[in-house]
């Protein structure tokens, strides 16, 4: 397929098409600091939250504080040794550990509260996935997540625990195929690697490629083994603008969704692809970035939104706020409401992030060439793979037992009346169109409680990254007998990429 420039249409929403949105926020997250001169600022999540609240979006969605992810939960993807290190290392005792082994240092410093920070990020994505799984929301949002560079046994690119891989593993318990889309300016290498050898997860990353971190994400990296053709990389040059980005994003995502037929989508919304980012080199306006969110949302497939990079923090907060509005079918007005961090938004105090006049190095010829190659690689995915399912493993969060998560403790702030609608029983197999998927889908009304230990070898000694059922002690698990899941695999180590 050749590149064809589409004119820019103003972003539209349909107020009638109400989504049930679960928004995860932990008020502790803004207190963590990577260090004064480090570009990654967890504070930006608090800034976004304040703006979101002051625009009144709490009236339209349910707001939750997720249970922080435990060591055991993190070990569904990560190695025990690495998580043990994250849990025990502090700035004061770091000399006792092999820092090089886990790649901590300048980019990924060990800071006070590091493990707690990772727990908040990971917990939000896991709980978001769990709510989507049970049809309790249509969209889950976790801006503390999106840490796409984290590897099984090491930190990378300001990321320590890969909340996205954890969330996708949770989704795979119910969903035969999950699509991961990454619009951060950096390649989504940690997530790609986690699912590089499986067709259960398709990854699609749009990123700057060429003398840029992390150096991976080349056009011809398309997956291996069963995962061949199920990794898509869109290597871009500096200065891509709204029109150009949209003109490749929309047709490519449309094709992937039509061919692959995912039953859940995870969208990483890194804000470092915005114009004027401290580390990025793209030229997207807030609306160009948000158009991706709105476009993906329009397919009506259960969707998880996670954060990611973003280093000009006022612009990250602006954009994630605008996108939260779109998810709630609202186009927010241009004047920022008063909020806790109002002074950050001067001198104009407006919502928009505007593009600059930087040169767009992505020529139509270049984009035609990469699109042509991507489409030819995608050809074999035309017919979505069916999945041979095994029994769903124990839910180690205990979310299959519905009593816990709607308690007063779990509901941080109530906004509106979504909870009542949550009570509506989800129709069996609602998300599955394909006949061959139907038999393997959990029947929500037919839960049979058991502590199933049915699935999966541990992640720790091989390539397997599926939930480690040995960790399910004390949780209430569900097995319907027909619902099942196959194992996803990861590359066994980073050197293979
Ligand atoms: Zn990034």
Whole-number Å distance, alpha carbon 248 to ligand 1 midpoint, is 19
pLDDT at 386: 81
For residue 362, tell me if it sits in a domain. Answer: yes
Lowest-pLDDT range of 30-34, 115-119, 262-266, 408-412: 408-412
Closest by alpha carbon to 364, among 247, 490, 222, 444? 247
**Is the whole-model pTM more than 0.75?**
yes
Whole-number Å distance, alpha carbon 122 to ligand 1 midpoint, is 18
Whether 466 shows a pLDDT value over 60: the answer reads no
pLDDT at 387: 74
Whole-number Å distance, alpha carbon 96 to ligand 1 midpoint, is 31
pLDDT at 162: 98
The two tokens of residue 57 are 């979006």
Whole-number Å distance, alpha carbon 231 to ligand 1 midpoint, is 18
CATH of the domain at 83: 3.40.800.20
For residue 485, tell me if it sits in a domain. Answer: no
Whole-number Å distance, alpha carbon 125 to ligand 1 midpoint, is 18
pLDDT at 394: 65
For residue 424, tell me if it sits in a domain. Answer: no
pLDDT band at 88 (very low <50, low <70, confident <90, very high): very high
For residue 491, tell me if it sits in a domain. Answer: no
Q: pLDDT for 215-243, tens place per residue? A: 999 999 999 999 999 999 999 999 999 99
For residue 470, tell me if it sits in a domain. Answer: no
Region 104-109 average pLDDT? 97
pLDDT at 384: 77
Q: What are φ and ψ of residue 460, in 5° steps? A: -75, -25
Percentage with pLDDT > 70 across the chain: 78
Q: What is the mean pLDDT of the chain?
A: 84
Whether 448 shows a pLDDT value over 70: the answer reads no
Domain, as residue range, for 350: 21-381
Region 448-453 average pLDDT? 30
Q: pLDDT for 174-200, tens place per residue? A: 999 999 999 999 999 999 999 999 999
Whether 497 shows a pLDDT value over 50: the answer reads no
Whole-number Å distance, alpha carbon 6 to ligand 1 midpoint, is 26
Between 404 and 303, name the one with better pLDDT.
303
Environment of ion ligand 1 (residues, CB < 5 A): 184, 186, 270, 272, 309
Region 243-250 average pLDDT? 98
Tell me the C-alpha distance between 292 and 294, whole Å: 5
Whether 395 shows a pLDDT value over 50: the answer reads yes
The two tokens of residue 163 are 């909340």
Binding residue ranges for substrate:
107, 157, 311
For residue 473, tell me if it sits in a domain. Answer: no
Whole-number Å distance, alpha carbon 426 to ligand 1 midpoint, is 36
Lowest-pLDDT range of 149-158, 355-364, 402-411, 430-439: 430-439
Region 128-154 average pLDDT? 98
CA dihedral 78, 80, 83, 87 (to 10 degrees): 160
Tell me the C-alpha distance between 381 and 208, whole Å: 25
Region 35-63 average pLDDT? 98
Tell me the C-alpha distance between 301 and 263, whole Å: 6
For residue 14, tell me if it sits in a domain. Answer: no
Whether 401 shows a pLDDT value over 70: the answer reads no
Q: pLDDT for 68-79, tens place per residue? A: 999 999 999 999
Catalytically annotated residues: 149
Q: Are 102 and 85 in contact (CB under 8 A)?
A: yes
Whether 420 shows a pLDDT value over 70: the answer reads no
Binding residue ranges for a divalent metal cation:
184, 186, 272
Whether 374 shows a pLDDT value over 90: the answer reads yes
Domain total in the chain:
1
Whole-number Å distance, alpha carbon 89 to ligand 1 midpoint, is 25
For residue 449, tell me if it sits in a domain. Answer: no
Whole-number Å distance, alpha carbon 372 to ligand 1 midpoint, is 26
Spatial neighbors of 495 by CB under 8 A, at least 6 apart, are none
Region 25-46 average pLDDT? 98
Binding residue ranges:
107, 157, 184, 186, 272, 311
Q: pLDDT for 425-441, tens place per residue? A: 333 333 333 333 433 33
pLDDT at 74: 98
Over the chain, what HEC string results? CCCCCCCCCCCCCCCCCCCCEEEECCCCHHHCCCCCCCCCCCHHHHHHHHHHHHCCHHHCCEEECCCCCCHHHHCCCCCHHHHHHHHHCCCCCHHHCCCCCCCCCCCCCCCCCHHHHHHHHHHHHHHHHHHHHCCCCCEEEECCCCCCCCCCCCCECCECCCHHHHHHHHHHCCCCCEEEEECCCCCCHHHHHHCCCCCCEEEEEEEECCCCCCCCCCCCCCCCHHHCCCEEEEEECCCCCHHHHHHHHHHHHHHHHHHHCCCEEEEECCHHHECCCCCCCCCECHHHHHHHHHHHHCCCCCEEEECCCCCCHHHHHHHHHHHHHHHCCCCCCCECCCCCCHHHHCCCCECCCCCCCCCCCCCHHHHHHHHHHHHHHHHHHCCCCCCCCCECCCCCCCCCCCCCCCCCCCEEECCCCHHHHHCCCCCCCCCCCCHHHHCCCCCCCCCCECCCCCCCCCHHHCCECCCCHHHCCCCCCECCCCCECCCCECCCCHHHC
pLDDT band at 159 (very low <50, low <70, confident <90, very high): very high
Whole-number Å distance, alpha carbon 470 to ligand 1 midpoint, is 34
């Amino acid at each position: 397929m050749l590149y064809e420039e589409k004119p820019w249409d103003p972003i539209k929403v349909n107020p009638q098409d109400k989504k049930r949105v679960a928004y995860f926020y932990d008020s502790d997250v803004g207190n963590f600091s990577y260090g004064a001169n480090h570009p990654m600022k967890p504070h930006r999540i608090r800034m976004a939250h304040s703006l979101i609240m002051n625009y009144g979006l709490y009236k339209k969605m349910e707001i939750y504080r997720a249970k922080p992810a435990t060591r055991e939960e993190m070990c569904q993807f990560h190695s025990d040794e690495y998580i043990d290190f994250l849990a025990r290392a502090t700035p004061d005792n770091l000399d006792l550990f092999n820092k090089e082994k886990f790649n901590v240092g300048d980019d990924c410093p060990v800071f006070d509260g590091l493990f707690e920070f990772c727990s908040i990020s990971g917990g939000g994505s896991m709980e978001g996935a769990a709510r989507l799984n049970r049809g309790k929301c249509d969209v889950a949002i976790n801006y503390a997540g999106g840490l796409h560079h984290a590897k099984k046994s090491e930190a990378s690119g300001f990321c320590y625990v890969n909340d996205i891989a954890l969330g996708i593993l949770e989704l795979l318990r119910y969903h035969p195929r999950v699509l991961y889309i990454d619009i951060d300016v950096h390649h989504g290498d940690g997530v790609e690697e986690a699912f590089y050898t499986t067709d259960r997860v398709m990854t699609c990353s749009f990123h700057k490629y060429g003398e840029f971190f992390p150096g991976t994400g080349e056009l011809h990296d398309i997956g291996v083994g069963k995962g061949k053709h199920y990794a898509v990389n869109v290597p871009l040059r500096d200065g891509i603008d709204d029109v150009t980005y949209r003109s490749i994003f929309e047709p490519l995502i449309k094709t992937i969704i039509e061919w692959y037929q995912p039953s859940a989508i995870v969208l990483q919304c890194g804000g470092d692809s915005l114009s004027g980012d401290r580390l990025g080199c793209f030229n997207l306006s807030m609306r160009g970035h948000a158009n991706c969110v709105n476009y993906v949302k329009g397919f009506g497939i259960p969707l998880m939104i996670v954060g990611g990079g973003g280093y000009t923090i006022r612009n990250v907060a602006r954009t994630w706020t605008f996108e939260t509005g779109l998810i709630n079918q609202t186009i927010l007005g241009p004047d920022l409401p008063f909020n806790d961090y109002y002074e950050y938004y001067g001198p104009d105090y407006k919502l928009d992030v505007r593009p600059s006049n930087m040169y767009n190095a992505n020529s139509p010829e270049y984009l035609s060439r990469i699109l042509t190659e991507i489409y030819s690689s995608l050809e074999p995915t035309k017919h979505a793979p069916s999945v041979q399912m095994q029994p769903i493993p124990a839910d180690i969060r205990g979310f299959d037992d519905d009593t816990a998560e709607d308690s007063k403790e779990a509901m941080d702030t109530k906004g509106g009346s979504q909870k009542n609608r949550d009570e509506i029983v989800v129709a069996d197999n609602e998300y599955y169109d394909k006949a061959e998927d139907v038999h393997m889908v959990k029947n929500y009304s037919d839960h049979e409680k058991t502590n199933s230990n049915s699935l999966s070898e541990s992640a720790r000694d091989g390539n397997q990254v599926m939930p480690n059922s040995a960790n399910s002690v004390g949780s209430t698990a569900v097995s319907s007998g027909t619902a099942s899941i196959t194992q996803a695999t990861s590359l066994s180590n980073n050197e293979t990429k």
